[in-house]
Structures are given as C-alpha cells and as structure tokens.
Amino acid sequence: MTGTLNKMLVADPDFVMGHVVRNGLELLGTGSNIRLCSRLQDDVSRMVKLSSMQPSLTQREQKHVAALVAWSNGEMKQASNVWEDILVDHPNDVLALKFAYDNYFYLGNSNQIRDCVARVLPMWKPTMHLYGYIVSMHSFGLEETNLYSEAENAARTALSINPKDGWATHTLCHVMEMMGRQHEGIYMLEKTGQYWQTCGMLACHNFWHWALYYIELGDYETALSLFDEEVTKRAISSGAMLDIVDICSLLYRLQLEGVSVEDRWEKVYDVCKSHLHDHILTFNDMHILISCLGAGQKQAVKEMMDSIEVFVRESKGTNRDITAEVGSQLFQAFIAYNDEDYSKVVDLINPVRSKIIKIGGSHAQRDLINQFLIQAAIKSNKKTHHNLARALLNERKLLKPSSPLTDRLTDKVMQILGD
C-alpha cells in the first residue's frame, strides 16, 4: 500500500486527497505524531497548504483535510464530528467511514463503532464494491455492544462474500473469546488460516487471539509457541502499533498466570523503546510502560512517567484529558504491581474501573486490566480486597460462564477466604 500511495503522489503531487489518504493512514496508525515527527508535521502542513491553494476543492475534500488537522492536533472528538458531517451527505465515502470507525475504537465508544456503520449501511447495496467489508465492519460493532449472535451472522455473511476478509474473521475471534468458545475459535483459525493469514494488517492480531484461547485453557506452552513463532516475529517485522501492543499484552497475560517468560521482555522492549514519548493513546502508553517494567528498564520507566507528567501539564486534546482522568492512575498501578504493592494497585484501579473503557481498544483487549485488578486483589494483604476479587469473579462468571481462567482464579480466592 505504501508503494501505491507514493506512486500516486509522484504522478500527481498536488492531489489533495492523495495526501489525505497517506497522512490519515499514518496518523490513525497511532505510531507517530506531528509533535515528535517533523517529517509528518511537514506532510500535514503541505496538505493544508495545497488545499488552501485549490479553490476548486469540494467542501467534502476540505472537510477531510480539516478532520485530519483536528486529529493531528489531538482533538479526536472534533475529528469524529467532521467525518460524521461528511457521511451525512456522502454515506458511501469509505475513507470517512473508516477513519471515523477507527477513531471511535480509539475512544472506546462501542456504540458508535456499531452505529457509524449502521447509519450508512442501507446506502450500500450488495452489488457495490466493498459491500462485504462494510458488513464486516458492522459485525465488529455488534460484537463490541454484546450482540454476539447478530455479530456472528454478519461476520459470516461478509466471509461468504470474501473468505479473505480478515476483519470478519477477527469479529468471529472476538465472539468466541467473549462467549467462552475457545475450542471453536482454535478450530476456526486452524481451518481458515490460508485465508486470514494473507491479511497483513490483521494476521498478527488474529494470532494473538489464537494464543488467548490457549491461555484461557491453561495451555501456556502452545500460547508461548504462538508468541515466539508468530506474534513476536510479525511485530518486529512490521513495527505496527497494533502488533506492538499485542506482544506486550500477550506476554503480560502469561506472566499474570505465573508463567516464566524468561528473557522475552528484552525483545519486546526493543520494539517499544522508541515510543516512550508518544502519548498518542493512553491505551498504547499502557502497553509501552508494561514493556519497560517487564524488561526491568527502571530508567525508561522514569523517563516515560516524567514525559507523561509533562504531557498532561502542558498539552491539550482528547488523549491528554483521558490520561489525566484515567491513565495516570493506571500507569501508577502497573508500577505498584511491579513493586509487589498489590493493595496500592487495587486502591488505584478500583475507583476508576468504570472509566477504563475511555482508554480505547476492545473489550477483549481491556480484559488485561480486569485480570490485572483481580490478580492484585487476590495477592493483596487486605481481606476487603479478597472479597472484591470474589465479587469481580462472580461478575465475570455470569458474563462468560465457560471460562477456565475465571474458574482457576475463583479457586485461588476461595482458598484464601476459606469458603
């Protein structure tokens, strides 16, 4: 894709929408920003200058530029509003839809992940190019709003149109994760690998889901094998932020389960260390910090926390506000866990637990924090925290009855409580 975009802009350097596509994909990839990358700042400035020099530019094209400028300045909600304005008049604008959709994901706005597609879906006909992908996008929004049956049906419809639709396969991964259908998930990924593994942007993430099923089942050896042979190799090769957070999350989940991960954190940290000062998403920062802690990089932890403090004090924008409201406590909690101060972890996280969704990501991705809190509550020296762990596990069991991981944790806390 990068090669195609570059060729397009070589052929027509003044093509504003070409710059919109290239800059938008880079910005919403969340691996770089204009605050730290002068080259990207120059690219965005050039896009703005070109748009101001072309009076024939349509209002729709001008709005695309405005949305990216807002996003590049950290105003994520403002950017969403502009993309939604475009979609009201141009419901088949797949670029506006994709950017709005991804932005809602970063904001943890599950309803809008679903509904931004629902508002335009009737305007897409089955005979239209990309129709299957729109259905696929809707399927994930349905899953994130707990409409699992509807999500599965939509994903399977999308796959009947295009078996190589990695996003539809991804929806099925989530459905099976959230419903406790681990064996089905493993079977599906095994049998359809020839299709979804061709999707370079999502293959690593689908392997991450595959490993989660094995962690749930307590088969840590197979999960580690997937981590080593697929997830890590792909993350190192791509350097994509989605892949980076996957390796951090997967290794930390294994560590929470008491698995010896040996020196694996060193490789993970090497991939993460260039992002200590990004602060594009709280969700990303959390995973980068985890890598520093896992690798025992105390100076990097201090450097990152100092950087976050300056970011909150001096910056503005959506992620600055989320970091101040939720992120700072979350980061301190991971540091406290690393210091074995488990009661402090609970005291930091439990009061903001209902706000964690604001950091973005999916329910499955944020479940790392749920497991983290429960483990800390179990390890705390306070009985009230043990009672909290039991309450959280009761909640978890009702949401996902078929969960060996929940059962293992419940056994632990019941032994402590003597029940």
The predicted-structure confidence for 213-272, as pLDDT tens digits, reads as follows 999 999 999 999 999 999 999 999 999 999 999 999 999 999 999 999 999 999 999 999
- Is residue 80 assigned to a domain? yes
Distance CA 310, CA 10 (A): 39
Q: Given this model, what pLDDT does residue 10 score?
A: 84
Distance CA 78, CA 85 (A): 11
19: its two tokens: 């710059």
Max Cα-Cα span within the chain: 75
- Is residue 62 assigned to a domain? yes
- Is residue 170 assigned to a domain? no
pLDDT tens-digit map of 164-218: 999 999 999 999 999 999 999 999 999 999 999 999 889 999 999 999 999 999 9
- Is residue 39 assigned to a domain? yes
Q: Given this model, what pLDDT does residue 343 score?
A: 99
Under 8 Å between Cβ of 231 and 196: no
Which among 247, 253, 255 has a CA at the least distance from the CA of 272? 247
- Is residue 17 assigned to a domain? yes
Q: Given this model, what pLDDT does residue 291 score?
A: 99
Q: Given this model, what pLDDT does residue 241 score?
A: 97
Distance CA 292, CA 304 (A): 9
Cα angle value 99/116/177 (rounded, 5°): 85
- Is residue 41 assigned to a domain? yes
Distance CA 92, CA 120 (A): 7
Q: Note the helical H segments in 179-219.
A: 182-191, 193-196, 203-217
Write the CA distances from 262 to 203, 247, 259, 333, integer angstroms.
Answer: 25, 15, 9, 23
What single-letter DSSP state applies at residue 84? H
| Residue ranges of the chain whose pLDDT lies below 70 | 1
Q: Given this model, what pLDDT does residue 262 score?
A: 94
Helix axes 59-72, 94-107, angle to 10 degrees: 20
- Provide the number of structural domains found in the chain: 1
- Is residue 20 assigned to a domain? yes
What single-letter DSSP state applies at residue 327? I
Q: Given this model, what pLDDT does residue 198 score?
A: 94
pTM comes to 0.97
Which among 217, 280, 288, 214 has a CA at the least distance from the CA of 249? 288
246: its two tokens: 């996957």
56: its two tokens: 């024939």
304: its two tokens: 């990152």
Other beta carbons within 10 Å of 419: 8
Q: Given this model, what pLDDT does residue 355 score?
A: 98
Question: Looking up tokens 């049956």, which residue turns up?
Answer: 149
Q: Which residues contact 373 (CB under 8 A, 6 or more apart)?
A: 345, 346, 349, 350, 353, 392
- Is residue 134 assigned to a domain? no
Q: Is the dihedral of CA 109, 113, 114, 118 positive or negative?
A: positive
**CATH number, domain with residue 7:** 1.25.40
| Domain membership of residue 90 as a residue range | 1-105
What single-letter DSSP state applies at residue 139? H
Q: Given this model, what pLDDT does residue 415 score?
A: 96
Phi, psi of 414 (to 5 degrees): -70, -35
